[in-house]
């Protein structure tokens, strides 16, 4: 397989708010794709939403609530990392 010329043009790149806008758009597009194509990621999104919605009604202290949110975010971010690694192996 012949790889294309992958040179980086430092003078021709987005800067400032325009770069931030495009980066945010790409991130939203990727998360939308993950939710529609990856069932495990969809389950993790529902876990995060359910945890955040039920947390105010559960009799936990502030520290326990923060620990629960951090644990749920670790699961969520771990799923993102696993999905990224799987997409690299599948050639997406």
Res 91: pLDDT: 53
How many CA atoms does the CB half-sphere of 79 hold within 13 Å?
19
Mean pLDDT of 29-46: 86
pLDDT band at 67 (very low <50, low <70, confident <90, very high): very high
pLDDT over 60 (residue 81):
yes
Burial class (CB in 10 A: 0-12, 13-18, 19+), 85: exposed
pTM: 0.61
């Amino acid at each position: 397989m012949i790889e294309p010329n992958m040179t980086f043009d430092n003078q021709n790149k987005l800067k400032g708010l325009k770069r931030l806008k495009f980066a945010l758009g790409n991130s939203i597009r990727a998360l939308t794709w993950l939710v529609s194509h990856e069932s495990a990621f969809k389950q993790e999104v529902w876990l995060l939403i359910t945890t955040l919605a039920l947390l105010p009604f559960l009799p936990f202290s502030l520290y326990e609530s923060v620990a629960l949110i951090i644990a749920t975010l670790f699961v969520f971010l771990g799923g993102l990392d696993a999905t990224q690694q799987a997409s690299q192996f599948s050639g997406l």
